[in-house]
Each structure stands twice: as structure tokens, then as C-alpha cells.
């Protein structure tokens, strides 16, 4: 019996649904937070040592590249938090229907980006 399934999948042609994209971003944001944690703890520790080290911390943080990195870490935290709430709700069998899953995916992306923009503007 012949099958019409492809033998070799071209991953560049497969279009993922939005809930899958949000789930992958949840994992990526968790990895970013995990990898940035030592740097953030080191910065926190050095800023608390003395007034001089706090001044050095402020000059480092005022650099535009550092602000962009911190904005990325802020987005990773907010997205991971919002998507984590979504995943917890799905673990309790809430929002598993396709339309509800898409709506919550849009909500996670919208809320995390809006909060990142609002906090980023305030902090910049």
C-alpha cells in the first residue's frame, strides 16, 4: 500500500501553529534566564560591595548595549512568566480547545511584549 507521506521533511517549509511557537519561546526564554543568572548575580553582588563598585555598576549599566541585553532578559522573564501561567492552566485542562489555545497564545505574546515595552520605556 503506497503512502503519500514524505520521506524527508523540509523543516523550513513547515509552518508551526502559534501555540507551538509560544511553547518553544517559553523554553528559549527559560534557557536565556538560566544562562544569564550567573552574570546577573555577579552584577548584583558587585553593586552591593561598596559605593565605588556601585558607581562602576551604574556606568556599565548605562551603556546602550547593556540596556539592550537587559531589555532582552526582561522580555525573557516576562514571557516565561506569562507562558508559565498558560502552561499551568493547560496542565489543569483549561484552555485546551484550539480556539482557546490560540487566544491564550496571542494573550501571552501581547502581554509579555506590552509589559516589556512599558517597563523598558520606564527604565531606559
What CA–CA distance (Å, rounded) separates 53 from 29? 29
CB 74 within 8 A of CB 124: no
What CA–CA distance (Å, rounded) separates 32 from 73? 7
What CA–CA distance (Å, rounded) separates 34 from 36? 6
- Rounded to the nearest 10°, the torsion over CA 96, 87, 24, 77 is 150
As averages over each run of 10 residues, the pLDDT of the chain (124 residues) reads 70 85 96 96 92 92 93 97 97 95 97 97 88
CB 94 within 8 A of CB 57: no
pLDDT recorded at residue 2: 65
Amino acid at each position: 500500500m503506497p503512502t503519500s507521506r514524505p520521506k524527508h521533511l523540509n523543516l523550513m517549509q513547515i509552518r508551526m501553529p502559534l501555540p507551538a511557537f509560544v511553547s518553544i519561546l517559553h523554553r528559549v526564554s527559560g534557557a536565556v534566564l538560566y544562562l544569564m543568572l550567573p552574570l546577573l548575580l555577579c552584577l548584583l553582588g558587585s553593586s552591593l560591595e561598596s559605593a565605588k563598585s556601585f558607581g562602576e555598576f551604574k556606568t556599565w549599566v548605562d551603556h546602550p548595549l547593556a540596556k539592550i541585553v537587559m531589555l532582552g532578559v526582561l522580555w525573557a522573564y516576562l514571557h516565561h512568566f506569562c507562558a508559565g501561567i498558560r502552561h499551568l492552566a493547560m496542565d489543569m485542562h483549561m484552555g485546551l480547545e484550539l480556539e482557546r489555545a490560540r487566544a491564550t497564545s496571542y494573550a501571552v505574546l501581547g502581554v509579555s511584549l506590552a509589559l516589556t515595552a512599558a517597563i523598558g520605556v520606564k527604565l531606559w
